[in-house]
A = this chain, B = another copy of it.
Amino acid sequence: MQNKFSVVVLEDELTTRERLVRVITSSEQFTCLAACETLAAGRRALDEFTPDILLLDIDLPDGNGLELISYLEGERAKTKPVVVTVFEDSRHVMEAISVGAAGYVLKDDPSISIEQALLMILEGGAPISPAIARQILLKFKDTQATSDDATDELSSEVAEDAPEEHKKIESLTPREREILVMVSDGFTDKEIAREKNISYYTVTTHVKRIYQKLSVKTRVEAARQAIKHGIIAQT
């Protein structure tokens, strides 16, 4: 019988951590070397062990779990990092991938189990949740598109990203942009209505359209998009 593959878990939240450990230890093929709940503890665990797989959360009390991925370079390169998290926005996903995540699985994703994910890694695959896949596809289409036109953009110091996403922002009408700016500045719909001397209902209608065009569901998400695309100043 071949040795089991080793795993280190880094997850602050108790029940999820226990779930991960349970899955690993109850498997024939895996063994759990350590289960940490802080970034610092994770780093110590990686000083002690060089597991085959590192399951890590992003949002930890003492920092960003992704920092540990770069820590795996060199001596510890044998360890494949798999992100297990709730964040499914493209920012987190892309950050994880750009620092070298070998997989990205959403907590509580019924369509991909933790054990499946671990097995995929061993086969050289890249376990990934469907929801995440979408984000990657969109981004990928980006880089494809942007690398086509080598015509330089002197202008925007705003990060060149997804034409798909740019299109979304650009499809906003002037009035909608004005409203988005105020939304992003923390004004309520009622305040915006007063400020612009239009009906409250009109504001809600604009806001609805903005959400549809940006594919978001809340003002916070809309504000994030606005900042990301330079619609509003963020110094």
Contacts and interface: CB of A to CB of B under 8 A. Distances in A.
A114 B173 CA distance: 32
A235 B95 contact: yes
Interface of A: 13-15, 59, 61-62, 64, 86-87, 89, 91-92, 94-95, 97-100, 103-104, 107, 111-112, 120, 123-130, 132-134, 136-141, 143-144, 151-152, 154, 159, 161, 164, 168, 174-175, 177-178, 181-186, 188, 195-197, 215-221, 223-224, 227-228, 233-235
Quick one: copies of this chain in the complex?
Answer: 2
A170 to B, nearest CB: 13
A126 B59 CA distance: 26
B15 A235 contact: no
A191 to B, nearest CB: 8
- What 10 pairs between A and B have smallest CB-CB spacing? A133-B133, A124-B215, A111-B111, A186-B221, A126-B137, A128-B133, A61-B174, A126-B134, A186-B220, A91-B235
